[in-house]
Amino acid sequence: MTAAGRSPARKSVPRPSWRSVAIVGVGLIGGSLGLALRKAQAAQHIIGVGPNKASLQVAKRRGAIDQGTSDLKRAVKNADLVVICTPVGMVAPLAIDAANHCSEQCVITDAGSTKSAIVGEISSARGDGRFPSGVAFVGGHPIAGRGSSGPAAAETDLFQDRRVILTPERGKNTAAVRKVTAMWQATGATVSCMSPADHDCLLAASSHLPHVVAAALSATLNARERKHSAGGLADTTRIASGDPKLWLDILQTNAAEVIAVIDRFQIALKELRESIAGDDQRKLTNILRKAKRNRDAL
């Protein structure tokens, strides 16, 4: 199910009409989702859930949510959709908690950057009865972000023309997957489905490796070197400015895949190093050309 994309396709998808949506975690992603659902008139009522009153107030003032609360149980009681937009490590416990306090018609989904750990935890919670069998969970990940974070940085169009990957449980919950797909399409995103393992392998390369590389580069340079830099270093290290806590979670929950792709990167770097050390003009030119081609095609 690789669904719909730009405007023409999107028009054919029925607009979702949620009665009550609970967004757990009203940071950049949760806040932007609220704004986008509001713009698409896809939800009648949006409740924001979080421990931080100030964040909830910002989200409400910005129109991302109608109401804020720290009480997850009450927030999900009447929700027909719960979207968990917290750091990765908190997703599964919150989803399990929500599942035990929502109705059976409710669909729970998330926006976590790694999927195997989350889906695995929920699957074992289903296995031992901690996750009610009637409640649907659909893992999700909108591939969108900014250097900045928090509800003040939220943007209505953050997901416009971005990709969202869903990792549904095998053979289960077709209706729930359709609903979550429609929700993301309402924000302007293109939705596709794959397994959690496939997602994590892909994102290790496309997102986690760039972060690791940017962080290593930023950590390498001393103050004098950084002072004598221009836009190149600033661009290359921009994402190293991301929240260390968020990234700790991401890198820890996807460690094996991240290690594997760091090793692939190290091979490419070693080749570049050798072509410089050996003054191998042809090899160096080929690598620089390939790098440019790949970048220009982004």
- Site residues for a copy of itself, 145-204, by CB under 8 A, read 145-146, 162-163, 165, 202-203
Residues 231, 235, 236, CA angle at the centre, nearest 5°? 120
Find the binder of a copy of itself among 15, 19, 73, 264 (CB under 8 A): 264
Binding residues for a copy of itself, rule CB under 8 A, total 84
Q: Which residues in 111-150 contact a copy of itself (CB under 8 A)?
A: 143-146
Per CB under 8 A, 24 contacts a copy of itself: no
Distance between CA atoms of residues 36 and 39, nearest Å: 5
Query: Residue 61 CB, nearest distance to a copy of itself (Å)?
Result: 26
Q: Tell me the C-alpha to C-alpha distance, in Å, between residue 28 and each of 63, 177, 190.
A: 13, 24, 19
Residue where the block lists tokens 């997703």: 91
Segment interacting with a copy of itself, rule: CB under 8 A, options 12-20, 39-47, 121-129, 258-266: 258-266
CB 28 within 8 A of CB 48: no
Segment interacting with a copy of itself, rule: CB under 8 A, options 34-42, 51-59, 132-140, 254-262: 254-262
Query: Residue 278 CB, nearest distance to a copy of itself (Å)?
Result: 9
Q: Tell me the C-alpha to C-alpha distance, in Å, between residue 195 and each of 114, 141, 209.
A: 11, 12, 20
Find the binder of a copy of itself among 16, 25, 31, 242 (CB under 8 A): 242
Query: Residue 131 CB, nearest distance to a copy of itself (Å)?
Result: 26
Binding string, 85-104, against a copy of itself, x = CB under 8 A?
Answer: --------------------
Query: Residue 169 CB, nearest distance to a copy of itself (Å)?
Result: 21
Query: Residue 114 CB, nearest distance to a copy of itself (Å)?
Result: 13
Q: Which residues in 206-235 contact a copy of itself (CB under 8 A)?
A: 206-207, 209-235
